[in-house]
Every structure is written in structure tokens, then in C-alpha cells.
């Protein structure tokens, strides 16, 4: 960026000031976020419906509360209610849909102009996700308030420490999910029917992430198996932090960092190899 | 043109023949669906088994009995991807692009056309696993299948399928007014996932909700009861009534909605 700015100055246009990379980054980020927020605001009705479509944890809470299995686990109704509400909230802010959008952009040829811009297309998707979360926030707060209205005995405020840790874990979990989706989206360069894979990844997401049952309820062998996958980090770990359950905090954050670093590398490699193959749809 | 019923049956045969021929172009996708159906089954079984450790039972249903409910749920999921989703997802597109005009002009009932044109093979693996699970679990529960029991089960499955269709069609119809409501289908699907478990597994208030407001109980628990041979006559009649009511409601709502359809760009 710097060199191009200098170049244009050499051309004799006095108004272009050289920007330092950090400054430039801030400007791009602000412009992207503002435009994506405006775009997403148009879709607020859909965002509300998407938020409501994540009500699986509440259905599961109803079954768990009524079943004696919860008590056998050492989780009373209060603890269960808190866990599943936390799972709902965490899930709301870790959803990613890069695959769907990217496949559509690639198939419709919108990817080509995006590749010409001096900005990686994934930054645009990231901004769009963040903007959508901002619009989701009041809806989620409303649903949580309704939840406490129905089950007032479940109300709790996490300690400031736990709240901060949960927030950090949720942001990292979102990044992890985003990168998982990005790595699969890159497969669009090799096949034009990647959407079907989305269905496959949703299955372990439902059963292993902790959305349908706290991982503590799993048989030990299955739990160990699940913990070798990134899925419990996406919902169970941040949710337990928020709900005040006992967790190995250091291990969770380490696992998040390792997965994110690994996937970042994978996405970079896949992207480089993929763009070389890209022939633009219809060309 | 012959008698109307014959005409409709002939149309149906032609439509589905074309749909199937089209589907067979994508065999790799079908293979993927088989994998997904198996993974889904394993996941559902694992989840259900969490409620059965240490001699516990779920809402008074034994393990094989609860598996019958899960089988019915899987079957309905398969029916959804084979029949409901491919057809009803087109309504919103028709409204958006104004092509609903062409459908309305056809000399055939518009609801029939919109609900039957397409057929996808994608749900077949789930239909197969669902039916398999139902039959295997019923045998495991010690049920001897008599012709009467079979008739009863099929009748209740039919009622539950029609009820599911009515719910989907009601939501799809709202896109005549609000194009964006198609996402409401995802909310409906999430809510109907409660049908994985017998209705008695829920707390009393939720049970009432799932019987009176959103009839989840009639979708999976009632057919499962029929298969287990413990459905009482009043419930059988009630289930039939709810299904007929749902159909009539979807029909009336569609005709009501069409009065507000003004075509695109007008």
C-alpha cells in the first residue's frame, strides 16, 4: 500500500497522503464494518429468524430437566438451565456461514472482482459476520430476558472474571468456526458442490459440540474422543465458562489457540493452491 | 381430458418421472446423503442413550420403545427432504420473480402443483433408516405385528405426514406477504426436533405446548404408540381430526393468501 501511495505522489497528485499500514488497516476495517452493518440491517427480520432457529438447546433443556439423568450427573435443574442458556448464547455468537456465501459468490462470478481488490475476500466475510452479530445482540438479550421470566430461579450473574473469560472464549470459538468454514469453502476451487459438505459438518456440530447435551454426560471414552475434535470448543467450553461450571481453563484456551493456528495455516495453503486453479465461472 | 382424478394421477406420474430422471444425474450427492443418514443415526442413538444409563428410562418409555419414536422422527426427516423441502422452497422464488403467475394460470390446482412438482432422492437414505429402526425396535420391544396393527400404524403415519405437510405449507404460504419469511421454516424445523423424544419426556407445561399449540405429539409419539399397539381409539380419531384440520387450514390459508397476491412489479 505504501509504495502505491508514494507512486501516485510521484505522479504529481498532491492530495494522496501516504498512510501507515496500521492507519490504513483501521480505515479499511471501519469502512467494511459500516457498510456490512448497513447491509445486514436490511436483513434484520432474517437475523431474528436465524436467532430463533437456534432454539435446540432449549428443547434439550426441557428433556434434561425432566429426566433423572441430569441429577445422576450431579447437575440440578438450576445448573442445567444455566448451561443450556449459556450454550444457546454462545452458539448465537459462534455461527459461521462462509461456505454458503462463498459458494454462491464463486458460482455467480462475484468472486472475480473481489479477487482484484487489494483485500482478501475472507476479510469481507469476517466483517459481515461481525456486523450480523451486532444485529443479533438485542434479539439474543431479549430471548435471554424471556428465559429468565419463565425460569426466574435460574437467574445468575457470572463473576466478572468468568464473564471476561467466557467472552474471550466465545470470540476465539467464533474465529475457530469461521476458519473451519473458510477451509471448507476453499474446496470450492476444486468442486462446485461444496454445499453438501455443510450438511455433513452440521452433524458432529449438533452431537459433539455440547449443544444437545453437556459433555459431562458422555461416557468417558466418547468424551475423550469428542475432545480430540474442535467441536466441544465451539459451544461446550465457552458455555461452561459462562455458566460457572468447573473447567480446565488453561487447557481449553491452549486447545483453541492450537486449532486456530493450525487452521490459519491450512486456509492459507488451501487458498494459495486454490486461487491458482480458479478459472472464473462461465469463463 | 377424462375424469379429473385420472388427470391428476397422470400429471403426477409425469412430474415424478422427470424429477427422478433429473436426480439420477447427481449420484455422488446421494452417496453423501447415505453417509449423512448413518452419521445422523449414530449421533441420535448416542444422544438418546445418555438418558438410559443406570436403569433409567425416558418419560416411562423403555429403550426399544423410545427407538420407535426416533425411527418415526427419522422417517419424517427423510420425507421432509424428499418431498416438502424441494417443493415448498420454490414458492418463495415464484413470489420473488413473479413466476407464480404461470402456476396460477395452469389448468390445475395451484396448491397441488406447488406441493407435488418435485421429488428428491436425497431423503431416501433417511426414510430407509427410519423405517428400519422402527421395525427393528418394535420387534425388540416384543411387538407381534398383526394386520390391524400395521393398518393402524400406516394410518397414523399418513396422518402425521399430512400434518407435517400442513405446517410446512402454512409457513411457506406466508411468503406471499413477506418474501423473507422462508427462514421461518428453519425455526419450525428446530422446534419440531422436539419430536425426537416421546412427548412424556417433557415437563407438563412443555407437553401441553407440544400437543395444543405446535402438534409435535401427533407427529411422532402417536404413530409410535400405534406401532407399539397401545394407541386408544380416541387418540386415533383425534390424530385423524388434527390432520384433516391442518389440511383444511392450509387450503383455506392458501386461498386467503392468493387474494393478496399482486404479482411482482405491480
> Three-state SS string across B126-160, please?
HHHHHHHHHHHHHHHCCCCCCHHHHHHHHHHHHHH
Does any domain span residue B106? yes
Domain with B77, as residue range(s), is 4-258
Contact at 8 Å (CB) between A268 and A185?
no
Number of domains in chain A: 1
Contacts of A51 in chain B (CB under 8 A): none
pLDDT for A117 equals 86
Q: Residue B53 and residue B49: Cα distance in Å, rounded?
A: 7
Does any domain span residue A24? no
**DSSP code of A90?**
H
Does any domain span residue A98? yes
pLDDT-flagged residues of chain B (< 70):
1-2, 264-266
Does any domain span residue B264? no
Let me know if A80 is exposed, middle or buried by CB neighbors in 10 A (0-12, 13-18, 19+): buried
Nearest to A49 among B46, B56, B184 (CB): B184
Nearest to B253 by CA among B243, B245, B241, B262: B245
Query: What's chain B's Rg over C-alpha atoms?
Result: 20
Does any domain span residue B251? yes
Contacts of A219 in chain B (CB under 8 A): 53
Total count of residues recorded for chain A: 283
Contacts of B193 in chain A (CB under 8 A): 56, 59
Does any domain span residue A90? yes
* Stronger pLDDT, B32 or A207, i.e. the higher one: A207
Does any domain span residue B33? yes
Q: Residue A88 and residue A236: Cα distance in Å, rounded?
A: 10
Q: Give the tens place of pLDDT for each residue, A20-69.
A: 888 888 999 999 999 999 998 988 888 999 999 999 999 999 999 999 88
Nearest to B88 by CA among B10, B189, B9: B189
* Stronger pLDDT, A239 or A9, i.e. the higher one: A239
Residue with cell 430407509: B128
Q: Give the tens place of pLDDT for each residue, B158-209.
A: 999 999 999 999 999 998 888 777 788 999 999 999 999 999 999 999 999 9
Contact at 8 Å (CB) between B129 and B38?
yes
Domain with A138, as residue range(s), is 42-277
**Best mutation target, B30, B32, B51, B209, to test chain A (most A CBs within 10 A):** B51
Does any domain span residue B83? yes
pLDDT for A280 equals 65
The interface predicted TM-score (ipTM) is 0.90
Nearest to B201 among A66, A193, A213 (CB): A66
Number of domains in chain B: 1
Does any domain span residue A27? no
Residue with cell 475432545: A227
Let me know if B43 is exposed, middle or buried by CB neighbors in 10 A (0-12, 13-18, 19+): middle
Please judge whether B194 and A218 are an interchain contact, meaning their C-beta atoms are less than 8 angstroms apart.
no
Amino acid at each position: 500500500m505504501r509504495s502505491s501511495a508514494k507512486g501516485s505522489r510521484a505522479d504529481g497528485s498532491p492530495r494522496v497522503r501516504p498512510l501507515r499500514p496500521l492507519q490504513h488497516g483501521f480505515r479499511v476495517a471501519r469502512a467494511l464494518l459500516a457498510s456490512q452493518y448497513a447491509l445486514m440491517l436490511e436483513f434484520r427480520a432474517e437475523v431474528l429468524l436465524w436467532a430463533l432457529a437456534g432454539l435446540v438447546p432449549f428443547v434439550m433443556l426441557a428433556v434434561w430437566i425432566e429426566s433423572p439423568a441430569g441429577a445422576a450427573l450431579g447437575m440440578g435443574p438450576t445448573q442445567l438451565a444455566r448451561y443450556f442458556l449459556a450454550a444457546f448464547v454462545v452458539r448465537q455468537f459462534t455461527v459461521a456461514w462462509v461456505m454458503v456465501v462463498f459458494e454462491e459468490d464463486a458460482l455467480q462470478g462475484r468472486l472475480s472482482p473481489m479477487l482484484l481488490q487489494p483485500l482478501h475476500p475472507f476479510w469481507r466475510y469476517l466483517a459481515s459476520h461481525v456486523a450480523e452479530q451486532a444485529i443479533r445482540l438485542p434479539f439474543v438479550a431479549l430471548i435471554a430476558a424471556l428465559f429468565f421470566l419463565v425460569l426466574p430461579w435460574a437467574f445468575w450473574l457470572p463473576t466478572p472474571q468468568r464473564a471476561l473469560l467466557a467472552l474471550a472464549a466465545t470470540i476465539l470459538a467464533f474465529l475457530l468456526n469461521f476458519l473451519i468454514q473458510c477451509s471448507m469453502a476453499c474446496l470450492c476451487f476444486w468442486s462446485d458442490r461444496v454445499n453438501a459438505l455443510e450438511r455433513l459438518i452440521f452433524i458432529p456440530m449438533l452431537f459433539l459440540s455440547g449443544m444437545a447435551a453437556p459433555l459431562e454426560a458422555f461416557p468417558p471414552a466418547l468424551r475423550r474422543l469428542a475432545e480430540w475434535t474442535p467441536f466441544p470448543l465451539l459451544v461446550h467450553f465457552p458455555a461452561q465458562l459462562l455458566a460457572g461450571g468447573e473447567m480446565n481453563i488453561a487447557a481449553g484456551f491452549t486447545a483453541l489457540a492450537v486449532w486456530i493456528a493450525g487452521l490459519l495455516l491450512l486456509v492459507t495453503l488451501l487458498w494459495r493452491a486454490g486461487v491458482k486453479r480458479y478459472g472464473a465461472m462461465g469463463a | 381430458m377424462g375424469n379429473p382424478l385420472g388427470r391428476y394421477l397422470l400429471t403426477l406420474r409425469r412430474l415424478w418421472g422427470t424429477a427422478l430422471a433429473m436426480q439420477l444425474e447427481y449420484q455422488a450427492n446421494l452417496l453423501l446423503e447415505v453417509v449423512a443418514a448413518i452419521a445422523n443415526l449414530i449421533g441420535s442413538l448416542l444422544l438418546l442413550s445418555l438418558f438410559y444409563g443406570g436403569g433409567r428410562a425416558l418419560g416411562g418409555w423403555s429403550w426399544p420403545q423410545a427407538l420407535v419414536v426416533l425411527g418415526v422422527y427419522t422417517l419424517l426427516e427423510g420425507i421432509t427432504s424428499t418431498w416438502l423441502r424441494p417443493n415448498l422452497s420454490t414458492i418463495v422464488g415464484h413470489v420473488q420473480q413473479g413466476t407464480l403467475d404461470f402456476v396460477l394460470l395452469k389448468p390445475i390446482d395451484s396448491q397441488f402443483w406447488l406441493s407435488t412438482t418435485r421429488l428428491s432422492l436425497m431423503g431416501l437414505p433417511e426414510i430407509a433408516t427410519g423405517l428400519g429402526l422402527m421395525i427393528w425396535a418394535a420387534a425388540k420391544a416384543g411387538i407381534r405385528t398383526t394386520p390391524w396393527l400395521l393398518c393402524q400404524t400406516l394410518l397414523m403415519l399418513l396422518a402425521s405426514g399430512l400434518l407435517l405437510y400442513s405446517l410446512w405449507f402454512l409457513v411457506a404460504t406466508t411468503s406471499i406477504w413477506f418474501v423473507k419469511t422462508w427462514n421461518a421454516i428453519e425455526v419450525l424445523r428446530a422446534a419440531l426436533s422436539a419430536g425426537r423424544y416421546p412427548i412424556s419426556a417433557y415437563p407438563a407445561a412443555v407437553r401441553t405446548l407440544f400437543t395444543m399449540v405446535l402438534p409435535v405429539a401427533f407427529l411422532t409419539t402417536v404413530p409410535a404408540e400405534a406401532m407399539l399397539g397401545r394407541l386408544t381409539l380416541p387418540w386415533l380419531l383425534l390424530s385423524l381430526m388434527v390432520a384433516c384440520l391442518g389440511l383444511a387450514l392450509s387450503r383455506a390459508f392458501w386461498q386467503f393468501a392468493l387474494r393478496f397476491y399482486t404479482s411482482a412489479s405491480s
